[in-house]
Amino acid sequence: MGRADHLTLDEQSKLDVMSNGSSLQVMPRLVKKSRGSIRRYLSDPVSYGQQHNEYSGRKRKASSRDERNIIRTASNSSKSLNEIKEELGLDVCLFCPFLP
């Protein structure tokens, strides 16, 4: 499940005013947003909502060149996936969800 939409400027200003006296348990009911989104805003209001350029997913074991070599080898022969893996010297699982 992904994150909810960002807080609007109106909601952010309400939270800024409430942050002095209200608790984190009361704010979500008044603004009608999740406690997590309010906590993310209050932890760093200056950089809230900015895009991060870093890739946060798992690193790929096979490069795009390795994938092209696998596809080329598989399309030009009737070898099994394990034989292709040995021939190309790859240390990956060739379940091949990227193959057509």
Q: Residue 15 in contact with residue 27, Cβ under 8 Å? A: yes
Q: Domain of 82?
A: 61-91
13, 39: one domain: yes
How many domains is the chain built from?
A: 2
Show pLDDT as tens, one digit a residue, over the chain (100 residues): 566 678 888 888 888 888 887 788 888 888 888 888 888 888 888 888 777 666 667 788 888 898 898 889 889 888 888 888 888 888 877 665 554 4
Residue 96 domain-assigned (yes or no): no
pLDDT value at position 98?
Answer: 53
For 86, residues 6+ apart whose C-beta sits below 8 A from its C-beta are none
